[in-house]
Each structure stands twice: as structure tokens, then as C-alpha cells.
Amino acid sequence: MESLQHILRVVLSLLLLVAVSAVAEAQSTRDPAVQEAYDAGLELLGQENYDEAIVEFDKASAADDTFAEAYLGRADALRAMEDYQGALQAYTAARDRSPDLSRVHFGMGMCHRELGQLDLALNAFTNASDLNRRDPEIAANLGKLYLDISDPVNALRTLDVAIELDPDNAENYRHRGWAHTQLRETEQGIEDLKKSIELDPEEYETYYRLANVYGFDEDYAMVIEPLTNAIKYYEPEESSDPEIFIGGYLLLADARIKLASDEETSVEQRNTLYEKVIEDVQVVLDEFPDRFPESGNALYFRGLALRMLSRYGEAIKALTDSIQLIPADNEANYLGEAYLKRGVCWLNQGENGLARRDFEQAASLNFEDPLPHLFIGFTYAKEEEYRKAIDSYSEAISKSGNFARAFVNRGLAYLQLEEYQKAVDNFNEAIRNEPTVAEHFFKRGVAYMWLDEYEKAFTSFELATLYDEHHAKAFRGAAIALKKLDRANLAAQYESKAAELEAAE
């Protein structure tokens, strides 16, 4: 719906573009009483006294049925009152009397857009633009509509004109910035969004757009500041809108979780981020404890953060609450992951049976996801049910043929079953998919040692040390393999390095 500020801009534009010509016309041909009623309508419209404005415009049109501007004034008043159908009827009457009034077509476009009739809105705005290419409000709204119908190329072209005509309009920069980003012109998009913030530093939607741009680029460190500002400056547009920016808090929590999972994030920073996630979602839960789906997502994020802080009991409760909050016959995008993460918590508490049931539930919800089957394998391995574990790992591999973690764990299960060549084969698959991970080579070295293939074992341990020069166990394994090969001198060097690394731990 149109904001008060936007309505005022419409009124001011009418006063500047219509009133002057109307006065001039009145001085030459129009009945003074008609002109007086019309002028009174304009004044009342500017005061937002729409009902009385309509009365005056109706007086003018009743006395002079050819007076298109009087119908236009009535239409603008009805549009300000959000009576879009009534406004369209009045705009049509104005158009029938004077088809060359650009503001008539503009008003029709605004009504059609509010009614969701985007094709009709595009036709009306285009007609308005053809009649007056120097009206910045027409250009701005046409550009915005092109964005609404996913045509960023024409949006960009039209918004360029709007900004040329009105270079201090923050909203136009926001829309053009979004058009740039849709065309993958990220730098230009960010530049426009920052310009919009410079012109209007308290518009929450611009910060929100900027955060989205950084999010698309997975630059989660940059997401946090604009989202924080979006939350700070948020104001409800409708009486039914929530008092707080729920979506902003949830996106902020999601960004913090993703930033925490970055390998370059330190443990201390990670823990701080998870604590912040809990704070973010608590604001939502304090205001809306059972609003679906927002509160469900908040509980889910809370559960994720608590799990990563090793607060497994609290995480289980939060994830359970997120699951139970989903109404019957409804779906939630987090449901499968909630079961999976709750299963991980059960697993860390040693509750293999409960964990396995959750992993099975997650597998039934996210059929193509290999992770639930991997974790089911973990539960069987903990119970020394290695054949069942192997079956689960194999199911995970069938879902993702390059899933190195599943190959590694299947290899470990074969080691436990003393099927060492099969273990080697699985470690080789892990190496093929992740050729720079030292631990894969180390595990293959262990399997070769059990096969008494000491040269291959040494080669595997050596590769592990090359990829991780601090891998003490790999140096120790290399030394043992070299001793088996009667290469005592080189074995001593590896032995010394292993002792040095172990002492430093």
C-alpha cells in the first residue's frame, strides 16, 4: 500500500503540474463557480481531507461534465483512500474526456498495481511515460514495475531516467541497485544501495536489500551490519504487520550460523556468534512464542546454536519445540534438518536408539540427502554392528558418489571386520574425492600395515606428513613401516619428528 509520504508526493505533483494549467484555463473559459469548487477540492486533497475533496470535485464535474481534471482529482482522492476500483472508474472518466493527461494514466497504473493487475499497470505506466517523459515519478514507478515483473534490463534503463530527473531520490537508487544485482552487476548494485542509504539513512528496506546482496555472494561477515540496521530502523507499514522485523532477526541468525561454520572463524569468534544467534532468536520468541513458521525457525536456529555450544540437552528441547510447533497438515522447510540435528545431539549423549530413529525420520523427509544415512551408520558402529554400519554408509554413497566421509567410515568399519583390502579400497575413494586431506592417507597407511604391505604403508604415511607437517601419528606410522623395511636410519628421523610433535601437543 502507498505510504503517507508517497501520497503527499502525488498531491504535490498534482499541485505543480495540474493546478497551474487549471487556473490558466479558468481565467479564460471556465465558469468561476466550477473553478472555485475544483480549487477547493485541490486544497482539501492536500490536507488529506479526502471525503470533502471528493464532494468539491463532484460539484465541479457536475457543473462542467467536460472538466477532466475534476474527475482526476476525484480519482486521486479515492486512490489515497485505497478505493482502487472506484478510483479506476474516475480515472477512466477523466481519460475519456482528456486522453492526453499523463497523470490520468499514471494513476490508473498505480491502481492496477495495487490490485495485482501488473500487465494493465505496465500498459498504463507506459502510456503515461509516452505522454510525459520528464515526469520523474512516472519514470520511477515504471522502473519499479519492471522489477516487479522480473525485467531488470528495462528497469535499469527506466530508473536511469528517473535518477537523471530526480537525483536526490533515495528510493530510485534502491530500486536501481536491486536491478543491477539481478543482472549480476554486484559492485554497481552495492554502490547504488549505499547511495540510497546516504540519501535516506533510516529506510530499513535499503539495508535489507544490501544484506541480501552480500548474502547472495555468501559474504556473511558483511551481512551482519546492514541487517542490524534494517532491524533498528524497521517500522510496520500496515496495522497487521509485526512490531519487530521478524524476518530480519531470522536472517541475522542464519548469517551468524553460516559465518561461524567458516573454517577461518576462530573458536572464540564461533562461540560468540552462536551466543548472538541465541540472543537474536530470543527477541522473536519473546514477542511471538508460537507464531508459525517464524517461531519455529527461531527455535530451530536456537537448537543449532546450542548444539554447536555442546549444550545438548537445551538443544534437544529447542529442536523438539520447533518440530512440535508445526501445525497438522503443514510443512516446514527446517523439519528434516531439525530431526537430523536432534539425532546428532542424542548421539552425543550416547542415546543411539533415539538418535537412529531421528536419523531415519530425517532420511524419509530429505530423501536425497546422504547425511542421515551416514549418521545411521555411526549409531551402528558405536554398537559394533559393523555390517549394518557398512550398509548405511553404502546408502549414503548411493545418494552422493563423491561423499568422502562415507567412504572413510565404511573403510573404518572394514578395518574392524579385518577386511583390510576393502578398507584400502574405500580410503582410496576418499583420497580420490579429497586428495589433499592428510588423514585419508594416514588411515590407508594403517590398513596397509595390517596387510603387511610396508612399502605402501610408508608411502601413505609419508604423503600424510607432506599434507600435514604436524601429523604426529603419521610420522610415527612412517617410522614403524620403515623399521619393518629395515631402514633404521630413516626410521629414526621420522621417530624423532614424531616425538617432537607429541611433546609440543
SS3 40: helix
> Dihedral of CA 426/432/434/440: which sign?
positive
Closest CA to 317 of 292, 288, 291, 346: 346
> How far apart (Å, rounded) are the C-alpha atoms in residues 253 and 271?
13
Q: pTM for the whole thing?
A: 0.81
Q: H helices then E strands: how many in the chain? A: 28, 0
Residue 240 pLDDT level (bands cut at 50, 70, 90)? confident
Residue 119 pLDDT level (bands cut at 50, 70, 90)? very high
> How far apart (Å, rounded) are the C-alpha atoms in residues 412 and 447?
9
Angle (nearest 5°) at CA 130 between 124 and 136 = 85
Q: What is the mean pLDDT of residues 349-360?
A: 97
Domain limits at 31?
Answer: 1-132
> How far apart (Å, rounded) are the C-alpha atoms in residues 96 and 41?
21
Q: What CATH number has the domain bearing residue 25?
A: 1.25.40.10
pLDDT of residue 238: 84
Compute and round to an integer the Cα radius of gyration of the chain: 34
405-450 pLDDT tens trace: 999 999 999 999 999 999 999 999 999 999 999 999 999 999 999 9
pLDDT of residue 10: 42
Residue 26 has pLDDT above 60, yes or no: no
- The number of beta carbons lying within 10 Å of the beta carbon of residue 19 is 17
Determine, yes or no, domain membership for 62: yes
> How far apart (Å, rounded) are the C-alpha atoms in residues 267 and 256?
14
Closest CA to 69 of 114, 33, 112, 102: 102
pLDDT of residue 30: 81
Residue 123 has pLDDT above 50, yes or no: yes
Q: What is the mean pLDDT of residues 230-247?
A: 92
DSSP code string of 442-484: HHHHHHHHHTT-HHHHHHHHHHHHHH-TT-HHHHHHHHHHHHH
Determine, yes or no, domain membership for 239: no
Which residue is associated with the grid cell 535489507? 208
Q: What is the mean pLDDT of residues 217-240?
A: 94
**CA-to-CA separations, 358 to 323, 385, 424, in angstroms, rounded:** 12, 18, 31
Query: CB within 8 A of 195, min separation 6: which ones?
Result: 170, 173, 177
Domain end position, chosen among 114, 132, 150: 132
Residue 55 pLDDT level (bands cut at 50, 70, 90)? very high
Determine, yes or no, domain membership for 327: no
Question: Contact 418/449 with Cβ under 8 angstroms?
Answer: no
pLDDT of residue 419: 98
> How far apart (Å, rounded) are the C-alpha atoms in residues 425 and 402?
14
Determine, yes or no, domain membership for 5: yes
Residue 15 has pLDDT above 50, yes or no: no
Residue 41 has pLDDT above 80, yes or no: yes
State the alpha helices, DSSP H only, in 309-403: 312-324, 335-348, 352-365, 371-382, 386-399
Determine, yes or no, domain membership for 362: no
Q: What is the mean pLDDT of residues 126-148?
A: 96
Q: What is the mean pLDDT of residues 455-478?
A: 97
* pLDDT over 90, % of the chain: 91
State the alpha helices, DSSP H only, in 149-219: 152-165, 170-182, 186-199, 204-216
Q: Which three cell numbers stand for residue 86?
A: 472506484
Which residue is associated with the grid cell 617432537? 500
- As for how many domains the chain has, the answer is 2
138-169 pLDDT tens trace: 999 999 999 999 999 999 999 999 999 999 99
Query: CB within 8 A of 48, min separation 6: which ones?
Result: 7, 80
pLDDT of residue 86: 97
Determine, yes or no, domain membership for 111: yes
Domain end position, chosen among 102, 132, 162: 132
**CA-to-CA separations, 391 to 16, 160, 283, 332, 377, in angstroms, rounded:** 77, 60, 44, 30, 8
Domain end position, chosen among 85, 107, 132: 132
Determine, yes or no, domain membership for 194: no
Please state the separation of Cα 383 from the chain's center in Å. Answer: 40
> How far apart (Å, rounded) are the C-alpha atoms in residues 383 and 390?
13
pLDDT of residue 330: 87
Question: Contact 69/45 with Cβ under 8 angstroms?
Answer: no
Question: Contact 15/23 with Cβ under 8 angstroms?
Answer: no
> How far apart (Å, rounded) are the C-alpha atoms in residues 247 and 47?
35
Please state the separation of Cα 445 from the chain's center in Å. Answer: 44
Determine, yes or no, domain membership for 36: yes
321-346 pLDDT tens trace: 999 999 988 889 999 999 999 999 99
